[in-house]
Amino acid sequence: MNGKLYPNHAMKRYMTGLDGLRAISVLAVIAYHLHLKWAQGGLLGVEIFFVISGYLITDQLLYEWKTFGRISLLQFWVKRMRRLLPAMLGMLLVVAMWLLLTDPSRLISLKGDFFTSIFYINNWYLIFHDVSYFESFGPPSPIGHLWSLAIEEQFYILWPLVLLIGIFLAPRRGKLTLLILIGAAVSAAAMAILYEPGSDPSRVYYGTDTRAFAILIGAALAVLWPSSKLNSHISSPARNVLGTLGVIGIALLLIQIHQTNEYDDALYPTGFIYLSILTAIVIAVLVHPANRLEKIMGCRPLSWIGKRSYSLYIWHYPVIILSSPEVNTEDVSYTRIILQLAVSLVMAAISYKYIEEPIRRKTLRGYLYSIRRSGYGSQLGLVAAMMITTVILASWLMGWQGWNSSSSASPVIDSTISSQEAVQPQSLQYDPAKETNQAMPADPVTKDSSGSGEGITAIGDSVILDAAPFLEKKLPGIVIDGKVGRQMTQVDDVIDSLKSQGKLGQTLIIELGTNGVFNETQLRSLLTSLQDTRQIYLVNTRVPRDWQDRVNASIQKVADDFHNVQVIDWYTASANKDQFFYQDGVHLKPEGAEYYASLLADTLQQNHTY
């Protein structure tokens, strides 16, 4: 393993087992974007892709170096562009046409996303414009997933040059591997230094500098474990070891996809490092010609998905975003999910067959010549029509929802909503199931809940601001302190300020969690400091973002440990009431704000708070 990187004319083979790993990765990402709770760690699929790319590209470059004594940089870059760019441009063109027909203002607002995606710098564009991957509101960008392709393409451009320098500086495998791992350690250290626990991790999530270690770990494996040098003639015990490592590794990857949460502090960077090393072990098994998992991981269904994983990745997200309702207070719609999956698979299959494969296997001139000669142009026109028709049909089946928006994302909620967007008042009926340790009135509107608000203080974000006029009417004298974008981490300062002004009452309502996750320690510390308060009500949240369930679980778990704390279950109370919300799914229309205020006022009355 410490020999020089000398020429080697061994034939390169196709490693079908990696198709299965690609399939697992892209399906995990899709499940995550569909908000399926059993795949809350599906974002880790991108990390798996990074490690695979690092291994395969480095393995290919070293194979060329060993075989021919050189690396053709221009040929490598042309092949990468031919492999990746046409399919992405096809997707961008269809999305742009769709937005042009349905929502031109949204297309204009996304011009920066389109431009930077084409030039593979989208991740840095999102960083410099403070666009959060986790804590953004409004309709997401339908091409917001292309940040990861930007990282990979930046790697493809720079890595061959860096690898050549590394080969000359350290021609022995051991030294070259060490240099690569040092680079990986620097990248991991950058993630650890830049990440602030309890804060939005988007900077370290998007950054090429902070995510490069996954690619470099794959690259280091390619130096130590080149596919062309692996021999299928190994002993039976060695085969058993390979099989055992592969099974355990894949099982652990699936467990991580199931259990990991993007807000776990341990994920940055130790969790990502662990996953990258685990993925490298699985790759080492799957690329070995003697591994016994080849038939399983390379089976036809997984192989089909794996070979089209790139197409599926670039198409699934715009399909999901452009066919999902902006406001959805109902349970998961499996009909919608099945349709979204079907459309994604169809689009990926069309892209793979008619764009990726023909262009990848021919020069552009030869490809265009073959189209003219075979009369293929009419077929491509038919394919384009099928692609657009598929999107239109799926969108029609899903209710034509989710089209009106003005921006891709913003770090916090904007509380300014046009009054013209209000709909006619609906019947405010409320009949949630009773739950232990949760304060919930039987019907917050059918009874008179007017009472004195003296001694009551409400602290919150823009949601409490929406309800403020109605709360002040139902509870005259209540003190309301709301601010757009407020986080739980800021509430200590708010309480200190209210105390100094003599405005902090003995009954406290806290409505926070709309703008992002907080850890349980923060909330527990806050409630401990307020133990002299007679009664505290924590209002849980309804927000169409991934942190919603974690915020609500944390609120309930911590509240159970304090005798003077109760949870007001806004999440359950607002179920199946889309008409209460504006298009962001968070801000309340007048009838929703009145309903919210009635829920709070009736809860306080039931508990004789005033």
Catalytic residues: 462, 584, 587
Whole-angstrom distance, CA of residue 118 vs CA of residue 92: 9
Q: CB within 8 A of 151, min separation 6: which ones?
A: 50, 123, 208, 211, 212, 215
**Residue-wise over 225-243: b if at least 16 C-beta within 10 A, else e?**
bbbeebeeeeeeeeeeebe
The radius of gyration of the chain from alpha carbons, rounded to an integer in Å, stands at 27
What is the phi/psi pair of residue 460, to 5°? Answer: -170, -165
Determine contact, residues 339/372, Cβ cutoff 8 Å. Answer: no
Whole-angstrom distance, CA of residue 336 vs CA of residue 394: 9
Beta-strand relationship, 479-482 and 507-511: unpaired
How many angstroms separate the first and last alpha carbons of the chain?
77
Beta-strand relationship, 456-460 and 438-439: unpaired
Identify any residues that bridge with 267 across adjacent strands, giving them in sequence order. Answer: none
Q: CB within 8 A of 108, min separation 6: which ones?
A: none
Tokens found for residue 30: 């899709």
Q: Taking the CB of residue 265, how many other CB atoms lie within 10 A of it?
A: 14
**Residue-wise over 374-405: b if at least 16 C-beta within 10 A, else e?**
eebeeeeeebbeebeebbeebbeebeebbbeb
| Distances 353 to 304, 348, 358, 486 between C-alpha atoms, Å | 12, 9, 7, 49
Closest residue by Cα to residue 600 from 552, 547, 538: 538
Q: CB within 8 A of 2, min separation 6: which ones?
A: 172, 173, 174
Whole-angstrom distance, CA of residue 404 vs CA of residue 407: 10
With H, G, I as helix, E, B as strand and everything else as coil, classify residue 460: strand
| Distances 179 to 39, 151, 152, 182, 399 between C-alpha atoms, Å | 35, 21, 20, 5, 54
Q: CB within 8 A of 33, min separation 6: which ones?
A: 42, 145, 316, 317, 320
Closest residue by Cα to residue 44 from 259, 296, 222, 225: 259
